[in-house]
Amino acid sequence: MGVLRKIYKITATHERIFTLARILGIDPGLHRTGWGIVDYDGFHLKYVIHGVIIADPAQKIEIRLRHIYKMLSDVIEENSPTEVSIEQVFVNNNPLSSLKLGMARGVAICVASVMGLRVTEYTPNKIKKSVVGSGHATKDQVSIMVQKLLNCGSVKLDAADALAIAICHAHHATCYKMIIA
């Protein structure tokens, strides 16, 4: 699992070799964790799948974190992403909310790491700028652009944010090398 796949395309005069990446974007949250997967070949994005993990707020925190861990593990096992991207934590006015968000984020990073995947982090502004063109775009604007870019139909906001994170990674990652012979 986690192995990059090589794709060969032969044209009349050139052989092109590039790597296909399957990117899992994660928008962590203690109540709702969005996830989305795209394939990227160095030129094109292709929508694969998305979803939202919902953890019952009435449950103890350790139960909720374990649920997020288990569900993300299942997503990774079933879809074989080669890379993971996640939103960097930001500190808001409520320190307790930031702490809880950090716990969910830590679980997401831990799952990816345990499963041998590289994790890349992006700021919320960089994600929005990559997808919408403005670092101060609204959640609705991000959702609309994700749906247009990926032609994936209606997407819930948490999953749209996760897909935006995956798109941002595709635009900014340095692991995609093109060899033209």
Active site residues: 27, 87, 158
Q: Which two tokens mark 24? A: 């899992």
The SS3 assignment for 44 reads coil
Q: Could you tell me which residues are beta bridge partners of residue 35?
A: 26, 51
The SS3 assignment for 18 reads strand
Residue among 172, 135, 159 nearest 21 (CA): 172
Q: Which amino acid is at 9?
A: K
Q: Could you tell me which residues are beta bridge partners of residue 119?
A: 84
Residue among 162, 139, 61 nearest 104 (CA): 61
